[in-house]
Amino acid sequence: MQNRRQRGWAVSRHRIVAPIPELNSLLSLFSCLACQCRRLCGPWLWLLAAALGGHFDAQAQTLTLSTAETVRSESARFPEGQAIQRVNLPHVWDKDARENSPLWYRLRFRLDQPPSNTQQAAYFEHVCSQFELQINGQVLATPFSAGPVRSRACHEPVLVPLPAALLRPGDNVLDVRLRGQPLQRVAMRSRAAALAPVVIGPHDTLRACAEQARMGNLDLSIALTTVAALCGLAALGMARVSHLDYLAYMGAAALGWALWLTLMHLTELPLPAPWAEALLVTLLPPIAAAGMLFLLRYCGLAVGWLETAVWLQCLIVPLSLVLAGADRLHAIAQPWPIILGLELVVIVGWFLQRAWQWSRPDFWVVGIPVAVFLVSLALESVFGPDPVLLPGKHGMNLALATLLAGLSWRLYQRYRQDLDAAQNARAQLEKRLQDTINDRDKDHGHMAEMRMEQVAAKERKRIAADLHDDLGAKLLTIVHTSDNERIATLGREALEEMRLSVRGLTGKPVQLGDAVGDWRSEAMMRLSQGGVELVWNVSDEVLLSERKLSARAYVQTTRILREAISNLLKHSKATLCEVRVQADMNDFEMTIIDNGNGIPMELDGKLDRGHGMMTMKSRAKQLQGQCLVESGPGFGTTIRLTLPL
């Protein structure tokens, strides 16, 4: 059972698209294919296909009726015998604003051959707004309601199948009873009561045309209006998130436009006719205002007087309609959209010119939609169904979609820029933080070093004090209480050594000039006591030099000098001693020359332990320097001490 039903469905569909080897059927097939592809291709592609397919008027079997006899009457049938007026179709009620009684149209046509097996139909491209059809005196089912005349959307073409039984070969009469609003009382021409030329022909062919017209006007409109509404909602959503007011205005304009188009396309507005028409006109200024404000705000401008004027317009327009009255509605309603359109054009032009100078990307964001609108306008006027009921509505929808795309891209661009800037700022901040931390660590390290130095210095001072107190006191006691001269001398020398050691521990670096002064004083004192002449040979360069000897180097040099003088005084019997001090970039050199007998080698071992030339050499080596001693009877003694600075 189910299978058969399904099969039946398939069969009926099959019949529609069954290939028939006749030209008009081929054409109708083409048109039907075009209809089927509206779901697959985009609207434009479809429109092109429809344009190519649909305007192939199947002229062979269709009849276009362009004249009619008209009588205004309330009767249920075409009033015979009354004065008739011949009119040419398309005919619009624009004579008298108060004419709202129904108008009868009588169209005569001749069917030469007997009606073939194909179903005939009457195709009304545009009929507004309520009508009743009678063929050869017989009433056909029509959407005609009694009651007050309402404003209707007359965008849909109407296709009425003509039953073969009612048709006669030869002369036929088609009566149309039309009710509607005269032109003066409506907002737009397409809503006025009118009748377009009627086409009589095969049902299938005409249906193709009807479908095509419907697509072009209705379905496409619905699709694009939905797109525009969605764009408006998206813009409003973005405005809420990003707090950019121009997006809110754009969203309001797009939504308002979509709403207005929907109202336009509604078959019936639940309002009495004049109010509905007025509503349609009144809704336009706010939409235009939103659009203009969007452009202004996008520039970042707030021109007070312009905004006030634009909002004032929203009040003036309905006021003017009210003042005009129902009878002159069209006269007032017609210029207003043009005025609004011109205002919009001016603002768009001004914006584009400004954007060209200041911000090219924004120029493209608004310029491309404008171009899209213009191109689609051109395409519509060339390829669009006839009559063009609302010029540019498709183009407007597409332009709005393009505009939203452009704005989103721009927003994304700005977002990316801000993101990059934020990331850069963050990287810089992190770098600065790292630098501060590094400096802090360095300072810490520095301070830790200094603290360690301080602690070490304190330790050394403590050791020195201990040495002086304990060791020094005991040595002193030895010096002063021993009878043995040698022991006393040893004790004295031990004290001197202790002092030097302490000095080496705790002392600060000594300037060369100061060190030389100390050495000279001591050498002079001792040698003059021993009756030896001292020649002190130190250049001014050394005396004025700013180089410093470390405390250890100073102490060791002092020791070596003392030792040399002691040896000189004790053993060498010299009468002259020369001391030379030199210093260059890296080294310091002291030379002690005397003219004595030299230090005999055998005595060296017997000298007090810890002294002697071996000790001098090892001490110099400890400080990365060297001490050379040349000594011998007859030559005297030359001690050359070199230390690094």
Partner 1 sequence: MKQILLLEDLPEIRAWLRALVLQVFPGSTVVEAARVHDALQQVSAQRFDLAMVDLGLPDGSGVKVVQALREHQPDAQSVVVTIHDDDDHLFPALQAGAYGYLLKEQPREQLMEHLQRISQGEPPLSPSIARRMISYFSAQAAKPVPQQPMVDTLVPNVQLTEREREVLLRVAKGFTLPEIGVQLGLSRHTIADYVKQIYRKLNVSSRAEAALEAQRLGLFRR
Footprint on this chain of partner 1 (rule: CB under 8 A): 468-469, 472-473, 475-477, 479-481, 491-492, 495-496, 499, 503, 513-514, 516-521, 524-525, 528, 536, 543
Residue 145 vs 528, nearer CB to partner 1: 528
Smallest distance from partner 1 to CB 568, Å: 18
Residue 516 vs 620, nearer CB to partner 1: 516
C-alpha–C-alpha distance, residues 471 and 468, integer Å: 6
Backbone angles phi, psi at 171, to 5 degrees: -75, 135
C-alpha–C-alpha distance, residues 195 and 91, integer Å: 5
Smallest distance from partner 1 to CB 604, Å: 26
Dihedral, CA of residue 139, residue 143, residue 149 and residue 152, to nearest 10? -140
C-alpha–C-alpha distance, residues 578 and 639, integer Å: 11
Do the Cβ atoms of 533 and 523 come closer than 8 Å?
A: no
Smallest distance from partner 1 to CB 492, Å: 5
Residue 87 vs 476, nearer CB to partner 1: 476
Residue 227 vs 555, nearer CB to partner 1: 555
Residue 339 vs 463, nearer CB to partner 1: 463
Helix (H, G, I), strand (E, B) or coil at 72: strand
Residue 475 vs 568, nearer CB to partner 1: 475
Residue 368 vs 467, nearer CB to partner 1: 467
273: nearest Cα among 337, 326, 205, 344? 326
Smallest distance from partner 1 to CB 527, Å: 11
Strand pairing class (138-140; 548-549): unpaired
Residue 242 vs 489, nearer CB to partner 1: 489
Smallest distance from partner 1 to CB 530, Å: 13
Smallest distance from partner 1 to CB 440, Å: 30
Residue 4 vs 486, nearer CB to partner 1: 486
C-alpha–C-alpha distance, residues 182 and 178, integer Å: 11
* Element housing 419 (H / E): helix 393-466
C-alpha–C-alpha distance, residues 417 and 592, integer Å: 79
Please list the helix, strand and coil fractions of the chain in percent, rounded to the nearest 5, in that order. 60, 15, 25
Burial class (CB in 10 A: 0-12, 13-18, 19+), 330: buried
Distances in Å between the Cα of 231 and the Cα atoms of 78, 97, 225, 526, 645 are: 50, 40, 10, 109, 84
Residue 312 vs 544, nearer CB to partner 1: 544
Strand pairing class (130-135; 533-538): unpaired
Q: Which residue is listed with tokens 């969605």?
A: 230
Smallest distance from partner 1 to CB 520, Å: 3
C-alpha–C-alpha distance, residues 545 and 539, integer Å: 10
Burial class (CB in 10 A: 0-12, 13-18, 19+), 482: middle
Do the Cβ atoms of 131 and 176 come closer than 8 Å?
A: yes
Smallest distance from partner 1 to CB 491, Å: 7
Smallest distance from partner 1 to CB 450, Å: 21
Tokens of 147: 């009651």
C-alpha–C-alpha distance, residues 333 and 282, integer Å: 9
C-alpha–C-alpha distance, residues 442 and 170, integer Å: 113
Smallest distance from partner 1 to CB 537, Å: 13
Smallest distance from partner 1 to CB 472, Å: 5
Smallest distance from partner 1 to CB 504, Å: 12
Residue 156 vs 493, nearer CB to partner 1: 493
Residue 566 vs 597, nearer CB to partner 1: 566
